[in-house]
Amino acid sequence: MATSRRLALKLLNAVVRLASPAAQDWAKAMLRELDFIENDWTALLWALGSTRILLKRGDVPVADLSDIPRVAQSLTKRIRRRTLGGCLITLGETVAFGWFVFIVPNTMQRLGCCLTVAAMLYMTYQLVARRTREAPSETDPSVCAISYRAELERQRDFHRGWWFWSRLLIMLPGMLLFCLGGAIAQPETIQVYLAIVACFIALAIAAIPLNLRLARKYQRQINELDTVRRGPQ
Amino acid sequence: MKLRRSPQTVLVLSEFLNRPQEWKYGYDISRNTGLKSGTLYPILMRLAERKLLETRWESPEAGKPPRHMYKFTAGGLRHAREYAASISKHSVGQPAFSGVNN
């Protein structure tokens, strides 16, 4: 048996094990279909798609207007988790670099720490400003669709344009100054600081496609929502 | 019941409208509609939740694992036909469910 098919089988068996009782039958149904897919890679893609359903049911296309309250709730929960997790990280970094200000040996590093603290506070502001609004208690799907669309737009903009580029670029000077100052103060640790800078730049570069992809995902959801709202063409 | 549907759901409904009395399999629907499993199954789940689709397991045969099968319920068929008719009204001169792209 090809590795890709073996992987597909393992994946779907795991999905069957982990699926909620309500979804068990569906998970088994997807698993059974694997036997009828001739191509091994198609089988793997089938398994990946099926896994996605259980992991991210909130991301699947809206089927009709009555789905909107459910997907709006799902988005609210996801963004709430992002806000909480993001704020914990940025505030933790703020405290850490705030403390470094008093212990680092030179002015360049102190300046780097101050800039990093400012960048972290700016990121916290962004996370709080773009936190989700409460999902509307409105039961009319047409009304709910309007607020859901507005929320999707807010989240799309968080991952592109000014909101994204400003939070990415504001991080750079502080970290670079911090590492440069550290390398000057302790030349024997230059390789450590070079590794930190390399990791930091790699993460910053990775963040670009990741955020732009998320922005595209939100835009796709907006388009799907618009199609559903327009009705039959 | 709201009759507004996403293009993917329309594809699935049109697939079931083609020989509505026959039981259909997930992978066959996926091949015929071009929808991936991650898109198709949530639609099937929702249609089943709303009693528009009937589901059952194929009777097991020796050496052949049973498959999950799907068919319109009477209500589902009526709903899909009404929807097809509403689309036909909106697109005069075109057959129902035509021009739907994934």
Q: Kindly state whether residue A60 falls inside one of the protein's structural domains.
A: no
- Judge if A156 and A41 occupy the same domain: no
Q: Are residues A178 and A201 in the same domain?
A: yes
What is the rounded CA–CA span in Å between residue B11 and residue A225? 17
Q: Which residues contact A79 (CB under 8 A, 6 or more apart)?
A: A130, A131, A132, A151, A155
Q: Is residue A103 part of a domain?
A: yes
Highest mean pLDDT among A207-216, B54-63, B73-82: A207-216
A84-104 pLDDT per residue, tens: 999 999 999 999 999 999 999
Q: How many domains is chain A built from?
A: 2
Q: What is the rounded average pLDDT for all residues in chain A?
A: 86
Higher pLDDT, B95 or A156: A156
In terms of Cα–Cα distance, which of B51, B26, B45, B70 is closest to A70?
A: B45
How buried is residue A48: exposed, middle or buried, by Cβ count under 10 Å (0-12/13-18/19+)?
Answer: middle
Considering only residues 23 to 52 of chain A, which have any Cβ-Cβ distance to chain B shorter than 8 Å?
Answer: 25-26, 28-30, 32-33, 35-37, 45-50, 52
Q: Which domain holds residue A36?
A: 3-55
With cut-offs at 50, 70 and 90, classify the pLDDT of residue B96: very low
pLDDT surpassing 70 at residue B1? no
Cβ–Cβ gap B27/A50 under 8 Å? no
- Are A8 and A76 within one domain? no
- Report the pLDDT averaged over residues B4-8: 74
Same domain, A49 and A109: no
- Closest chain B residue by Cα to residue A55: B38
| Mean of pLDDT values over B55-60 | 84
pLDDT at B30: 93
Same-domain pairing of A17 and A105: no
A221–B contact, CB cutoff 8 A: no
- Whether the per-residue pLDDT at A170 is higher than 70: the answer is yes
Of A37, A55, A73, the last residue of a domain is: A55
* A71 shares a domain with A51: no
Q: Which domains does chain B have, with CATH numbers?
A: 7-89 (1.10.10.10)
Same domain, A133 and A213: yes
Residue after which a domain boundary falls, among A11, A31, A55? A55
pLDDT at A22 over 70: no
- Residue B25 parent element (H or E): strand B24-25
| Cα torsion angle, B80, B85, B91, B95, sign | positive
> Does A157 fall in a domain?
yes
Residue A185: count of CB within 10 angstroms of its CB: 14
With CB atoms and an 8 Å threshold, state whether A141 touches B2: yes
Give the strand order in the sheet containing B53-57. Answer: B24-25, B68-72, B53-57
* Residue B1, CA atoms < 13 Å, CB-side half-sphere: 14
A82, part of any domain: yes
Cβ-proximal residues to B73 (8 Å cutoff; 6+ apart), any chain: B51, B52, B53, B54
CB atoms A32 and B67 under 8 Å = yes
- Residues of B whose CB is below 8 A from A229: 4
Same domain for A146 and A32: no
Report yes or no on whether pTM surpasses 0.95.
no
Q: Domain for residue A199, yes or no?
A: yes
| A79 in a structural domain | yes
pLDDT tens track for B15-44 = 999 888 899 999 999 999 999 988 899 889
> Given pLDDT bands bounded at 50, 70 and 90, which one contains residue B98?
very low
- Whether residues A95 and A7 share a domain: the answer is no
